[in-house]
Structure formats: C-alpha cells, structure tokens
Structure 1
C-alpha cells in the first residue's frame, strides 16, 4: 500500500487544502463510508420522509439506514411515531423496507404483536411470569417540521434541531404542508458517494450548461457569479436582479411570508441547514417549464401564486416549496459508490389529478434535473477514483457552499474524535 492509503479517515480530511476538494479516498474507501454512516446518518438528525407517507392510522413506512432500520407509523390518535425495526424477542425485522398498512405490528417470526403505540400486546408460550411492559418497541427521536419527518437514531440527539424547528415552522405554516398528498415519487440510485451528491446540490456552477429545465425558472444570478470585469449589459442585468429580489421580498413580507436567508452551516452547527425564499423567473409562480403553477389548487388558504420558492437544505436533503406544490428530496447512502435519492412531489390533499394538475407539468423540471445530476455525480465519482485525480480548487464565487460543507464535515468528524 502507498503512504496515502495508510492515512486514517481523520488524517485524510485534515490534509485537505483549504479551498480545495476532498481526497479521492474520502469518496471511495469502505471504512470511510462506514464511519460516515455512523456519524452523519446515525448520530445526526436526518430527513426520512414526509407526513403524507403515512396519511391514515395504521399506515407504515419502513426506512433502512445502513444497518439500522426504522418504522414510521401513524397511530390511532393520528400521531406519527417512529420505532426501531427490531422485534424485542430475538431481533427479527418486523417490516420490510417500503410502505404498508397494518392493524397491529406483528413479527413474522414468532408473532409477537405490538400496538401502534409500540406496546407489546400479545405473545405465546412465554409463561405467567413474563412481563410485556418492558418489551415495547424502541422509540426513535422524532421531529415533525412542516411535513418533514426528521429522526435521530442516537440516544443523545443534537439539541440544535430546535433552531431548525423554530425557523422552518413559521416559514412552512402558511402552506399547511400536513394537509397534502404525494402526487408522485421517484427513487434513483446514483453510483457515487453521498458527499458528492450533496456537493453537487450545494452549487450551481454547473447549472447553466446542464439543467435547461431547471434554469427556466431560476434567476441566473442566484447561481453565483464572478463580479469581476462585468460588461455594462451584465451590470444592468445585475441591478435588475437586485431590484426584482427586493420588490418580491418586500411584497412577501407585507403578506406575512418570511423570506430572508437563514444559515446554520459552519463548524459550530451540528444540525446543519440553510433556508431562503428564492424569486422565480418568468411569471414567477412555480418551478415548471412555463414558470406558472402546476396545480391550480394552492396550498393551505394561499391565494397568491407568486410566492417564489421556499428553499431548505440539510446535510441529507433539499426542499422546494411553492404556492402550488413542493418537491422534497433526501438521500440515504448505500455504499461508498452508491446513494439512494428519494424525491416526493406534494400537492394539496384535495387536489384532483387531471382536474387541478397533471403529473407531467408537476414533475418534468425535477425529474429531468435529478437524472442530469445523477450523471454528473457518477462521472465525478469515477474521476475521483482515477489515479490521476488531485483535488482541485473551488470557485470562491460559485462553490463557496461546497467548501463550507467540507469544513463542516471535518468539524463533525473531529467532534466525534475522528
């Protein structure tokens, strides 16, 4: 082995040159991947679904995260609960990954039966001295923010989820996101490391050349740009952009919508997030090819169509909420070179397909963008595993958030003694 291959995970990240990408080994090594899952997906808050995944009592959504698995269930009192997907008898999985509907949770091995509140209700052949009260399903820390179901698998869940909750509860409130349904779902396996998926999502240096559908609704200046040596025409466009943003933000604020940028991203953050209400191009209504709403049935009691894009990042998800629909995506790492990307398109619970919306208009922007990003992540992962790869320098104008993610990643590993 070479000297580089002998470096520990911590040594690899600490050797990253400031303003440059990560070592290829941080994307490709199995031991690095296993540590990443343990730290970033088992000890941090992660997004694992939306309330519309379990719309009725008895509905179940099972999500596998590395070696762990959780059951999300809506109980008889309409509460969403989450449990470890482990029978308290001999550890069998209660449910396979995916969605189902149950009356009670029954272990397929020995039929130990649990109520939707997690309590053990029935066993056979355990004798009169057996106490079922200490054999309830193991609960998981859970926060419902808007429609987002965040969980933390660690006993000591990071307390700064409160900052995300406080910030986004107010922003999501007008949209009444729990009164929604899933109009469409997509699962993509990207043959690349999860960090490359997030890095790709944190910059739009690549957008103009690769995302024609997405750039139909985004203002180009939001992608970041180099302010040096701008032409007179570009300077005029920049001033127009600033004026449009200021006008939209003031208008939204007057109507009670919160749009200013909030960032909790750097080394002192544990539960990392960023939110901003982005202006949409064209007619300014929604992330569609036409830039008009895809669903005429707007969220909540909203009457304005031109609310832009209420955007949220976390370290495993990205969200876009418009007046008429939302697109919520989250990732689960499957291997050093394999990442699951789940996306859900939400509309008002009473919206009728073919009357209020059609799926093509609703999904075509992000369906295309997700597949384009899949390709970009895959060719980048392949390149980082090439012997010729050396980490390149980031653009300070368009890749600042990629550099910031690298700093946060290093800080969180250091906080866990790695």
Structure 2
C-alpha cells in the first residue's frame, strides 16, 4: 500500500455528507501528480487514441504516466505494446509523439533492429558480440499491456490492472453497440493546453450546474436540468442530457450537418451521453457524431487536451460534408470551460481555499469522480469499480459539459 502524499483526514473528509472537493494539494502539489502518474495513470487503463492511429506496419510512441510506450502493428493486424527502450543501452527507439512505418525499427544509438512483433531482428557485429539466434530470442522488447475497445486504444503501463473488459464492466458494450464506435473516423481535431489541474477538467465535465452561467449556446439546445446519471459497473462515470424540442443535435443553431448514426432508435436520437472512462478519456456521444477529449497532465496546473470529432465513414465521404457545425459549437463551449477551470485553479491555489460542499442533485457525478480519487489516495491503488453510493444510498443527477 502506497497512499498519496496527502493528509489522510483531509481526504476522508471529501467523502462525508454531500462530499467536497479534494484537499488543496491534490490540485497544486507536484508530489501528488507524481503519485497519480504512477498509481492512477500507469496503474489504470489509459486511452492513447484511436486504433486507426496505428495502421499496419506502423509504430507510434506515446507517454503513459512516467512511461514511454511503443504501439506496434504488423501485417497480421494484431496490436502490440512495448516499453520504448532498446534492450542494448536503453536509448529510446522513437521520440514520444512520433510515428514510423515499415517492417523494422532501428535504434538510433547503436542500430539494433527490431521487427513489429518486438523481436530483435539483427545487431551490428553480432558474431563478435556473441549474440547468436538463441541469445537474440531473449533480447526482444519488453511487452506492455494494450487493448482495443470499440476502436479506442488503451495501455496499462504497470500491468497491474485487470483486463480491460473487467476494468470497464459489461454494460458499456451494450450501451454503445448501436453507435458502432469501432467504425467511426476522425473528421476534426483541436489540441488545447488548459491552465488547470486535469481533475478540474473532469469535475467540470461531470456537471451542468454551471451551464446556465457560462454556456448560453449549450442552453439553447439542451436544458441544464435534463437527463440523469447512469449506475456504473466499472471504472467509468457519467450520464446523459436531452436535446430540446426542435433541436437535432449540439450545434450553434441546433441543426445537424449530418444524418443520425444508422442504427440509432428511440431515445438514442434525442440524447447526448457524457462519460469519463477513468482516468483520461471523456466520451461525448451525440446522435450524429462523437466527440472525445483525451487528457494528459503536464503539470499540477496544466493539462494537454486532444479533442476529436468522429463521424461514420459514409458521412465523411458524402458530398459537401463539413464537420464545422459540430467542431465550432464545441470549440466555443470548450473554451468557456477551459476559462472556468483556469479560474478554479487560481482559486484552489489561494490561501483562502477551503473545500466546499457539493450540491446534491447537481454534482453527484462530481462526487463519484472525487470518490474514486479519494479511495485511491487512501488505499494506494485504484478501486475495482466506481461507486454510485453516497453514504449508502443511490443518487440521481444531471450531467453536462
């Protein structure tokens, strides 16, 4: 057990009554972020993008917690993960954030060569080095746990998390089957650096208590009081909101620039679903498109956010299609949120910060998010499931952007 470097009583106080925000250090201390990188990010299943980001004969280097990971896919289509470390003198094989293609990957330091299954293919002066075929078999790259879920790629850098299907629980597969997430493709992308702790972005995402104050565009297409929460059966949190009558989707004028996804029926055509797949994927599912936010903490007060808009391939291929109707709406809304989160960051850094009570009925999914972190801080490991209980009783709430 390796609890977080926070006062235990202050963490436990977050779970009392209606709940509160976390202690100040959870949002401001580098030591806490270092702990989160090891326990929450490396210890959980972190989303690192879409399966399409790693086509055949491609390698992609990504950061996960404190680790650098290589994603590889050969002609067989199987995704593999390895630590981004050469087995010779430990040089990184690819700079983080870059990709390469071809059958083989060569270390830029001493030219050891690996194939896309992570096997050592050849080394310079092999005979003089005493590296025969048997020795080469034991010098492949060190594997990392990777998994694909509905077209998303996840990495568990520590290898300590349960299999992804158990980590997320069984209900999400059923819930998202009609949306065919595995076949949608990226049609728009923005990247933001937000001057706030990554958890503040998640807390903001999990409620619409703030929507009538800072989101006039959103309130014209969906009521802040609509929808409700889902009861999670894995490490995810979220709920839905309803579109207003006469509104087709989340856009600045309420009109859709694309048809609904082909398998949706009934309420799915009127709802927008908002989920956090813990810790770093925010998944917003609309009748006609999907928006994702992938969070990467850069510092206690700074977070990188990759935001993508995904549509079915036949929509993208249609004459005259332009994703701007969705991208522009959420770019406006995102920037409103980022400004609010930066304001909260300045507030939690103040000597006057005292964790205040959350609002029952409006911030209950915020409580769930905080409770997952609080239990991890106390126990030194992620819990097995997100609890929907507050002092033993199930709660309902509205969720928002």
Q: Counterpart of 1:116? A: 116
Q: Which piece of structure 1 moves more, 196-205 or 168-177? A: 168-177
Q: Which piece of structure 1 moves more, 181-190 or 351-360? A: 351-360
Name the TM-score, length of structure 2 as normaliser. Answer: 0.82
CA contact (8 A) 2:61 2:71 kept: yes
Alignment of structure 1 residues 154-173 onto 2, 5 Å: 154-159=158-163, 161-162=165-166, 164=168, 166-173=170-177
Which deviations, in whole Å up to 9, do the C-alpha atoms of 1:158-201 show, x marking residues without a partner? 35742625322233333332323211112111111112121111
Q: Counterpart of 1:204? A: 208
Do structure 1's residue 313 and structure 2's residue 312 form an aligned pair? no
Secondary structure at 1:185's aligned position in 2? Answer: strand
Q: Counterpart of 1:252? A: none
CA contact (8 A) 1:327 1:345 kept: yes
CA contact (8 A) 1:180 1:347 kept: yes
Secondary structure at 1:213's aligned position in 2? Answer: helix
Q: Counterpart of 2:322? A: 358
1:28 deviation in Å? Answer: 0.9
Which deviations, in whole Å up to 9, do the C-alpha atoms of 1:182-229 show, x marking residues without a partner? 1111211111111212111122111111122333332321378xxxxx
When residues 275 and 97 of structure 1 are mapped into structure 2, their CA distance, relative to the original with a 3 A threshold, is same
Gapped regions of structure 1 (runs ≥ 5)? 1-6, 225-259, 265-270
Distance 1:204 1:277 in 2: 11
- More relative contact order in 1 or in 2 (CA 8 Å, sep 6+)? 2
Secondary structure at 2:305's aligned position in 1? Answer: strand
Cα root mean square deviation, aligned = 2.8
When residues 356 and 147 of structure 1 are mapped into structure 2, their CA distance, relative to the original with a 3 A threshold, is farther
Alignment of structure 1 residues 157-306 onto 2, 5 Å: 157-159=161-163, 161-162=165-166, 164=168, 166-222=170-226, 261-264=230-233, 272-274=235-237, 276=239, 278-296=241-259, 299=261, 306=269
Q: Counterpart of 2:56? A: 57
Secondary structure at 2:181's aligned position in 1? Answer: coil
Distance 2:344 2:239 in 1: 28
Q: Counterpart of 1:335? A: 299
Alignment of structure 1 residues 14-33 onto 2, 5 Å: 14-16=12-14, 18=16, 19-33=19-33
CA contact (8 A) 2:227 2:241 kept: no
Secondary structure at 1:313's aligned position in 2? Answer: strand
Q: Counterpart of 2:376? A: 412
Distance 2:58 2:184 in 1: 15
Do structure 1's residue 76 and structure 2's residue 75 form an aligned pair? yes
1:278 deviation in Å? Answer: 4.1
When residues 72 and 222 of structure 1 are mapped into structure 2, their CA distance, relative to the original with a 3 A threshold, is farther
Secondary structure at 1:132's aligned position in 2? Answer: helix
When residues 210 and 107 of structure 1 are mapped into structure 2, their CA distance, relative to the original with a 3 A threshold, is same
Secondary structure at 1:342's aligned position in 2? Answer: strand
Secondary structure at 1:187's aligned position in 2? Answer: strand
Distance 1:348 1:281 in 2: 24
CA contact (8 A) 1:52 1:182 kept: no
When residues 142 and 37 of structure 1 are mapped into structure 2, their CA distance, relative to the original with a 3 A threshold, is same
Distance 1:85 1:401 in 2: 36
1:411 deviation in Å? Answer: 1.0
Secondary structure at 1:178's aligned position in 2? Answer: helix
When residues 285 and 105 of structure 1 are mapped into structure 2, their CA distance, relative to the original with a 3 A threshold, is farther
Which deviations, in whole Å up to 9, do the C-alpha atoms of 1:10-58 show, x marking residues without a partner? 454235473222222221111111111111101111222112323x312
Gapped regions of structure 2 (runs ≥ 5)? 383-401
When residues 349 and 122 of structure 1 are mapped into structure 2, their CA distance, relative to the original with a 3 A threshold, is farther
Distance 1:76 1:286 in 2: 39
Secondary structure at 1:32's aligned position in 2? Answer: helix
When residues 273 and 345 of structure 1 are mapped into structure 2, their CA distance, relative to the original with a 3 A threshold, is same
When residues 400 and 180 of structure 1 are mapped into structure 2, their CA distance, relative to the original with a 3 A threshold, is closer
Q: Counterpart of 2:391? A: none
Distance 1:334 1:93 in 2: 20
Secondary structure at 1:222's aligned position in 2? Answer: coil
1:65 deviation in Å? Answer: 2.9
Distance 1:105 1:168 in 2: 36
Distance 1:362 1:395 in 2: 30
When residues 279 and 64 of structure 1 are mapped into structure 2, their CA distance, relative to the original with a 3 A threshold, is same
Q: Which piece of structure 1 moves more, 12-21 or 118-127? A: 12-21
Which deviations, in whole Å up to 9, do the C-alpha atoms of 1:309-336 show, x marking residues without a partner? 2432223221122343211112111111
